[in-house]
Amino acid sequence: MTNKSRTHLTTFSDDLLEWAKRHGRHQLPWQNPLTPYRVWVSEIMLQQTQVTTVKAYFIKFMSHFPNLESLANAHIEEVLAVWSGLGYYSRAKNLHKAAKALLEHHDGAFPKTIDALSALPGIGKTTACAISSLSFNQPDAILDGNVKRILCRIYNLHEWPGTAKVQQKLWSLAQSLMPKKDCQQYTQAIMDLGALVCKPKSPLCAQCPVQSWCKSFELGQQATLPIKKPAKPKPTYAIYLLLLFNQKQQLLLEKRPDTGVWAKLWSLPQLNRNQQTNDIFFQEFKTNLEGLKSIKQFKHSFSHYHLDVVLKSIELPESLTKQIVMENRKWVELSALNGIGTPSIVNKCIKFNELSKKKPDPLLANHHY
Ligand code: SF4
């Protein structure tokens, strides 16, 4: 908690509960009456669907299956037909399986421990805690998407909440805020806070009952939280790009394949940098790669990967240029480059080559590529 919060005479849950009495949601279809069966069905429906959509489906579901027995004894086809339109049908199948398991192994009653609830099909830890706190008034904190967002903001947690380590931290923070009594009201209140005030995009901090507990609000960082899933790192491929000139100072260009990056454009000869590079270069250009001058090393990025480019250059003697196979290749005057379809990297490489005549790349000074 923030230093500011330590001076509070109320707790986080006191402030939240007080607000929820007047501003929380008290007319959701599954709240009246609030039974374990109705809480369970609503929680399963809410796993992947918004409250506004769930309301009508919940009422329809209850009119077909008003209690556990009616659901357990129904045919699965009937359950799926009533579920139809909500999507993620495995949820309906699991509801049906769990209803049968509750009748067979728990005498038709919901068990009261988190472990036993979590052992039922389709019930994860947060759903088990929701059933336990909302139906049995037990101090079992939930950790759904709303609560994760609220906690990241309250504690100014700049870590992506998807990792096991951060989840563990969030579970313990969630539990630390859970009061010992009024657990049903608290769980509903924190859900309401996430839905009505601490919204994903624009939190309504001015109306927030727990603003004074909120570290990210205090620091003005709430809009940046929670941290989004980090993008997968792009792979980097190490290549050579070659500036091969003939005796007339013409540059060798190669036509790129019909698909892939720079498709069908005329680009510089390119080789992957690996153990076979020297041999491949010799086969193609009848000279050794070591004879080329290293001009520049630079990174070139595409949407899905990076190229780590080492640019090399040489002026080939006529005896060698005559031996180069010219299929999909041509010699081009530098002045004529603009009239040819080339990727921008060709001009970039030519500029690097010009610059290197004045000032060599210090990164390459001590390297032998
Ligand atoms: Fe969320 Fe703003 Fe309240 Fe912090 S002050 S909990 S960011 S609504």
Strand, helix or coil for residue 208? coil
259: tokens are 């698909």
Q: Do 250 and 326 meet the contact criterion of CB atoms below 8 Å apart?
A: no
pLDDT band at 212, cuts 50/70/90? Answer: very high
What is the rounded average pLDDT for all residues in the chain? 93
Report the alpha-carbon distance of residue 170 to residue 161 in Å, rounded.
8
Mean pLDDT of 250-268: 92
Report the alpha-carbon distance of residue 62 to residue 365 in Å, rounded.
76
Give the pLDDT of residue 60: 96
Helix 36-46 to helix 90-105 angle (10° resolution) is 160
Question: Which atom of ligand 1 has the smallest separation from the CA of 214?
Answer: 4
Helix 125-136 to helix 183-196 angle (10° resolution) is 120
Report the alpha-carbon distance of residue 184 to residue 167 in Å, rounded.
23
Pocket of ligand 1 (CB under 6 A): 150, 153-154, 197-198, 203-205, 208, 210-211, 214, 216-217, 222
- Render pLDDT for 94-113 as a digit per residue (tens, 0 to 9): 999 999 999 999 999 999 99
Give the pLDDT of residue 362: 66
Report the alpha-carbon distance of residue 97 to residue 122 in Å, rounded.
9
Task: Write down the catalytic residue from 43, 318, 333, 354.
Answer: 43
Question: Which atom of ligand 1 has the smallest separation from the CA of 222?
Answer: 7
pLDDT band at 251, cuts 50/70/90? Answer: very high
**Is residue 333 annotated as part of the catalytic site, yes or no?**
no
